[in-house]
Amino acid sequence: MGSLENIELLPEPDDDRILSAIDPSVVGFQDEWRAEVTGWAPMIAKPIHRVRSRRFLFTNLVLFAILASLMLWVWQSGFMFIELPPPKSEWAIEQAGFEDEILNGLTGEGIRVCIVDTGIDISHSAFQGFQVVFNDMISNSASPVDYGAIAHGTLMAGILISQSHQTGVAPGITLGVVAALDDDGSGMNTAGEQTISDAIEWCINEFSADIISLSLGGTQSDGMTREGPSVSSTRKALDRGIFVVAAAGNDGGNGDDGRVSVPSNVPLAISVGASSQGGDLWENSSRGNQMTYDGQQRSHPHQKPEIIAPGVGIISTGSGNTWFSSSGTSDSTVFVTGALALILQDQPQLRPSSTLGSSCIEGVKESLRVSASDSIYDHDDGLGYGNLDAGSWLEEVRKMPNC
């Protein structure tokens, strides 16, 4: 059995009694803008099946009348087929420091967070009563919709704003969602880079975001000689004091190209890797290169990735009013976004303004560096500066001088 220690068993979609052996270290590398690259583990996220109680058939004729009466009472009382609640990611909330007392009472109220993704299925019961500002760059829907092969945007939004079962980490924010990625016909969520750039521009100009959360990414290479439009739009947001949190990527392990995804490679952006339960680096989390594509040495606190956060087996909202489990730096990115929303609520002077520009962003990132759980001051290409600790991050931000 020693050779099977790292093998996971995954139910077949047509018959969940049949289990297939899966090697989670095998990662397919995809080009362009794909939630598949930076949003997911190598396996498709599976819904968390709700468990139903079973009725037992008794053949004893003496007990039949009693059983029939009991079943009739249960049916009338509404207790037949009790649905047990799906599991939660409580470990991730605790590990990321969201249960620290310093965060009590903070919900992200008043903070404007913009997500660029596949959209959102707002019909989920966990979103009941929540209003989303929606922009459709895939079609022309006036109401929120999720175009993903799997509802990636809905999953990411649930980590932030779920109002029930598993409460989001920043449920009081004002949320803008841009549908910019969709199913390419092969089960992948993808978009052209110009579309991503246009979506970021909408977050800046139309939504007036305080934070832009990008659970996506594109590739960069040693031969790059100029920035793409998504990087230019990300720099524009940062220059205006808007925080950008972006996924580092999921090409870790033997196939790692040694660079985080674009645009998390932009110096002032926060590039986020994934940790597993216990705080270890997820094996598929992308490693960073501390030289920029134009040969400049990165410096503190902008070495890539900057931080890791929970991103393995995260439970969140899925399509069709279901709950799903997923793994990837996409999930990790949203935890950092949520922590930052709580910090900006507590310290509103750090929000974007025409006079501050990007002057506050570096201080907030330095606070992130020194507050990381088991902080690695000298940086590690995989672990960044360490694990996210939301409470300690706020504590360090409160010590910042005026920026």
pLDDT for 57 equals 39
How does strand 189-191 pair with strand 211-214? unpaired
pLDDT for 65 equals 60
Q: What is the pTM of this model?
A: 0.82
In CATH, what number does 90-397 get? Answer: 3.40.50.200
Please state, in angstroms and rounded to a whole number, the distance separating the CA atoms of residues 139 and 358.
Answer: 34
Residues in the chain: 403
pLDDT for 42 equals 42
DSSP secondary structure string, 349-389? GGS--TTTTTTTHHHHHHHHHHHSBT--TT-BTTTBT-B--
pLDDT for 32 equals 44
The answer to whether the bond into 263 is cis (omega within 30° of 0) is yes
How does strand 8-11 pair with strand 19-22? antiparallel
pLDDT for 84 equals 54
359-365 own/partner pairs: CB under 8 Å, 24+ apart: 359/241, 359/403, 360/241, 360/403, 361/238, 361/241, 361/243, 361/268, 362/268, 362/301, 362/302, 363/397, 363/400, 363/401, 363/403, 364/243, 364/340, 364/397, 364/400, 365/268, 365/270, 365/301, 365/302, 365/306
Render each residue's pLDDT in the chain as its tens digit; 403 residues. Answer: 455 555 555 555 455 555 555 555 544 333 444 444 444 444 445 565 544 434 433 444 445 566 556 554 433 433 333 345 678 999 999 999 999 999 999 999 999 999 999 999 999 999 999 999 999 999 999 999 999 988 999 999 999 999 999 999 999 999 999 999 998 888 788 899 999 999 999 999 999 999 999 999 887 655 555 688 999 999 999 999 999 999 999 999 888 888 999 999 999 999 999 999 999 999 999 999 898 877 889 999 999 999 999 999 999 999 889 999 999 999 999 999 999 999 999 999 999 988 888 999 999 999 999 999 877 778 999 999 999 999 999 999 999 998 8
For the chain, the domains span 51-84, 90-397
Q: Which residue has the tokens 């956060």?
A: 309
